[in-house]
Amino acid sequence: MVQVIAFDRPDLHADHAKGESGIYTFEYQDKGVVGIVPGISLPNLGAVQDEVNRSSGDLWKDALDKSEAPVGWAVRARSDRGDIVATCTYEELQRRGS
Task: Tell me if 1 is assigned to some domain.
Answer: no
For residue 34, the tally of other CB atoms under 10 A from its CB is: 10
Task: Tell me if 28 is assigned to some domain.
Answer: yes
Q: What mean pLDDT do residues 14-26 have? A: 68
**Per-residue pLDDT reduced to its tens digit, 21-74:** 899 999 998 878 899 999 999 999 999 999 999 999 999 999 999 999 899 999
**Per-residue pLDDT reduced to its tens digit, 78-90:** 999 999 999 999 9
Task: Tell me if 80 is assigned to some domain.
Answer: yes
pLDDT at 14 over 60: no
Q: How many domains does the chain have?
A: 1
Q: Could you give the residue ranges of the DSSP H alpha helices within the chain? A: 10-16, 45-65, 90-96
Task: Tell me if 5 is assigned to some domain.
Answer: no
Task: Tell me if 82 is assigned to some domain.
Answer: yes
Task: Tell me if 3 is assigned to some domain.
Answer: no
Task: Tell me if 74 is assigned to some domain.
Answer: yes
| Domain range for 41 | 10-96
Higher per-residue pLDDT: 17 or 66: 66
Angle at the Cα of 27 (from 26 to 30), degrees rounded to 5? 140
> pTM for the full model?
0.76
